[in-house]
Structure 1
């Protein structure tokens, strides 16, 4: 009975798509809005000279002072006690990982074996809203099942539900669907992984994720899943279709192969030696370290059925991850912020930046990793991650100076604009909205 209600609720939401599309035709052009802040900090980490900004048709039209003289008819929003920074980008999450019921004590089994796609869609909608409330206006999702991520993206793009703009990787190349060491010749396995990349592109993904090693949840092993010829074929096929490639690597063993194959980002990796790190920096491949999710797993181990030993291993991985991030940053490897958020972690997406500063990055560098640099990873550096004329009006207002204390970004978001629309305003209460879609 409960599954029937969930399926009905999801069907109702999907049915709203036609209504939303029809009503969009009748909308008038958006009005011009003049925003005033105490300061404006760009995604480069620079403090801009003006304190006012004009937004029109979803984009930033002007930045400066006394803009009301040029735009006398603009609607004014006074955010004068808050600092403006660009909308944040979470470059690694799993927004469809969730369910509406309490954890059974084995959350992974509950998610993968007991939660229907309709329930995961409802949970994903809540995850999207919570993510938006952290100031994340764009996100890269790097693993989903049953096409729920594509359904969510369509709902968000049509304005049916709130959420960040999504850059999707679909299911990708994962042992669940592409078992490592499968029967057949090397040539057959190479062809199989290349074909998988084309299938992901056909679904409408922008990214291909290759799970090149083991490692997830309490498993921190980093054992190789695929050999170099397989990785190379998948990368070449993905790039031929215009997809970018993210490679999952918990340990260092496959990182040289990832660099040789020309992936676009490497996720999680630790313990990489200095010569490989120099090659990595020279190749300009991004590193997305995903530190904070292991803290979250350790603190919530009861929901996953993890043991005390599991918790100890997760906590021991944190300093290795931080050490790797510090060395990568000093070596010149480009860095992007990714939370690796799953299940109940949404709403804490940006705490990753606190680890960045603890690892030695300046607050300005940490902010860049979640704005201008993350936009470059996505190939959206001409549209996202900056506060500049012509860029998307993705703007958040925070209490404090993020160049002095990154917690102004991670803990004190008060107002969010995405594409010129105010989507979060909690200036009076400072509290997020509750989840709305899970029964």
Structure 2
């Protein structure tokens, strides 16, 4: 991959037909300069970088200034002094005396950094040790023609949570970069081939699909004959308690015999899974995800067997769901929400960005024709459109959820037809914003600092809660995501991340040790911290009024934040057994799936999770996932995590297959 070794060019940031930003790369004898900016959904990173590399293409100096996606300040430095490298970032600072032969992974950088990583790893034979830790690998997987240009397809792993896909021309210059975790297929693409962005996206999707199909063949355990899960205590959502020691039989993807004790003799063709006294609970539901091909593995490993996708690249999601349903790749069952946005300077990138009410109504019809579960309205939708959109959606059998359109309130949107409110902060905006403040901007986050002083017994709050109770309006709270936005701090992160963070790739660890809110003022940071306590109190109020609070993450797709979501519902005052029921049976019933899902009962689909410990006593036991069964296929998270470059957490259960030595009765 060594060619002209000239870094330069003008790039666009695109998603589908939408141009979201730009990048400029320039180089001279002193180094490489990168200017990067993106604006999407009222937010976006703006960065200036300057990099010098050595003869092995390892960065020896790197400065990054600007702001991160949510507006946090960026001022990162890495320098080389003899044989050592030192760095200072929002996440950490350090010095490595042997760092001169290692690749520094930046904490806050543009997508162009992936190309620096690729060149360094390829130049070292395919892999290179990284700073602050880890190893980066790169490989050339294919060569394709894009327009008039032959490009190599390069996959980089180890530098981030998901693989990064890069396209390079014959001169070893970057043509395009696509992150493997990108929900909307955001692409950094050189201006001369910008019209080929969709072609590049399709190539990336196929490379990803091939990789995931290989992983599925290695991690899925499909057993012939009877499967007997022995020595488990089963969570009964109806009684909200665990049974005594029990045995569960699975036949052709469904639960059949469920009995106390373990008295049934094992037949010669039976597969025996030893639960070792653990808890067997129905598969979890995450009610707020934006699924990508790679994140589907993380959700499954975390015990999440059903997700509600809350807005996505429709073609990508349709293809992914088709592969999951066919068993070609691993992933949860998916219910789809159709995202509808209106055109404005702050529009989120979506497949339906309407210029008129008529176009928005056509979007409702498009989603209804394709069997979507509901529509999700977004920030730029004019408030006056909501009533006719909701009426048409309801006529066609779709539910209506979403963010608040700018300059209105949750109360008004419920009256206009919302069936559910999305995000705690969206519920609170009408009580916190001053007249004229625009929630299409980051004010929808920054205004939360005022939440510390919100009186939850005020007339405005009580009036909206009463309306929610009258109409049975639930709350898709995303409590864990709000904790991360409001309470995560540079260098320290969140205590809640301690159970899993050290197992993750280094760039992910560093990303979880930054301040997301756009301020460093200690008084304002304290206000954000206190505001989250108010949010937990609001969850208590909503639940105390008999309303449903649904567990959902809206996070990067690791699955680990789902466990935190359940812990926070307990912190808000819900009993652990109530939270387990909410995450399993209640979600299934709400989604219309309770006939086949939501509990470990005779005749239901065999989707379940084997946990160490008793989550009805300590909800933290949901983190100790030893096995996940999806539609009768068994997956051991330890196997999945090894494929993803994550250090496993819990050992798999002992399994005796028919080819093993016979077991006693």
Return the TM-score normalized by structure 1. Answer: 0.75
Change (3 A) 1:237 1:4: farther
Match among 415, 419, 432 for residue 631 of structure 2: 419
Residue 590 of structure 2 is matched in structure 1 by: 377
Alignment of 1:166-245 (within 5 A): 166-173=334-341, 189-211=356-378, 213=379, 225-227=381-383, 229-245=384-400
Residue 227 of structure 2 is matched in structure 1 by: 33
Per-residue CA deviations over 1:302-358 (Å, capped at 9, x if unaligned) read 496944358666544422321111001110002211111136x54332211111111
Secondary structure at 1:379's aligned position in 2?
coil
Secondary structure at 2:368's aligned position in 1?
helix
Change (3 A) 1:352 1:167: same
Distance 2:346 2:609 in 1: 40
Residue 400 of structure 1 is matched in structure 2 by: 613
Return the TM-score normalized by structure 2. Answer: 0.51
Alignment of 1:16-415 (within 5 A): 30-44=224-238, 45-48=240-243, 51-65=246-260, 69=264, 72=267, 74-95=270-291, 124-145=292-313, 147-173=315-341, 189-211=356-378, 213=379, 225-227=381-383, 229-249=384-404, 254-268=409-423, 269-270=427-428, 273-297=461-485, 298=488, 299=493, 300=512, 302=514, 306-308=518-520, 315-342=529-556, 345-409=558-622, 411-415=623-627
Q: Deviation of residue 382 (structure 1)?
A: 1.8
Distance 2:247 2:583 in 1: 23
Residue 120 of structure 1 is matched in structure 2 by: none
Secondary structure at 1:352's aligned position in 2?
helix
Q: Deviation of residue 240 (structure 1)?
A: 3.0
Give the aligned length: 379
Distance 2:539 2:477 in 1: 7
Residue 98 of structure 1 is matched in structure 2 by: none
Q: Could you say what the CA RMSD is over the residues aligned between the two structures, in angstroms?
A: 3.6
Q: Deviation of residue 198 (structure 1)?
A: 1.4
Asked if structure 2 preserves the Cα contact closer than 8 Å seen for 1:90 and 1:138, the reply is yes
Per-residue CA deviations over 1:94-146 (Å, capped at 9, x if unaligned) read 22xxxxxxxxxxxxxxxxxxxxxxxxxxxx22211111111111101112236
Distance 1:168 1:177 in 2: 26
Distance 2:618 2:343 in 1: 41
Distance 1:350 1:94 in 2: 17
Asked if structure 2 preserves the Cα contact closer than 8 Å seen for 1:238 and 1:244, the reply is yes
Larger radius of gyration: 2
Asked if structure 2 preserves the Cα contact closer than 8 Å seen for 1:35 and 1:76, the reply is yes
Per-residue CA deviations over 1:130-187 (Å, capped at 9, x if unaligned) read 111111111011122363222221221122221111111243336669969xxxxxxx
Residue 217 of structure 1 is matched in structure 2 by: none
Distance 1:239 1:407 in 2: 39
Q: Deviation of residue 47 (structure 1)?
A: 2.3
Gaps of 5+ in 2: 1-151, 155-165, 169-177, 179-199, 349-354, 432-459, 494-511, 646-665
Secondary structure at 2:237's aligned position in 1?
coil
Residue 188 of structure 2 is matched in structure 1 by: none
Change (3 A) 1:162 1:287: same
Task: Answer 1 or 2: higher relative contact order, Cα 8 Å, separation at least 6.
Answer: 1
Distance 1:382 1:10 in 2: 34
Change (3 A) 1:239 1:161: same
Distance 1:253 1:335 in 2: 22
Q: Deviation of residue 191 (structure 1)?
A: 3.6
Q: Deviation of residue 14 (structure 1)?
A: 5.0
Distance 1:263 1:376 in 2: 19
Per-residue CA deviations over 1:186-240 (Å, capped at 9, x if unaligned) read xx954443222112334553221112x48xxxxxxxxxx532x421222222233
The structure where strand makes up a greater share of residues is 2
Asked if structure 2 preserves the Cα contact closer than 8 Å seen for 1:301 and 1:311, the reply is no
Asked if structure 2 preserves the Cα contact closer than 8 Å seen for 1:140 and 1:166, the reply is yes
Q: Deviation of residue 258 (structure 1)?
A: 3.6
Secondary structure at 1:356's aligned position in 2?
helix
Distance 2:605 2:421 in 1: 27
Change (3 A) 1:264 1:71: farther
Q: Deviation of residue 404 (structure 1)?
A: 0.7
Asked if structure 2 preserves the Cα contact closer than 8 Å seen for 1:250 and 1:267, the reply is no
The structure where helix makes up a greater share of residues is 1
Distance 2:332 2:531 in 1: 29
Distance 1:378 1:385 in 2: 10
Secondary structure at 1:308's aligned position in 2?
coil
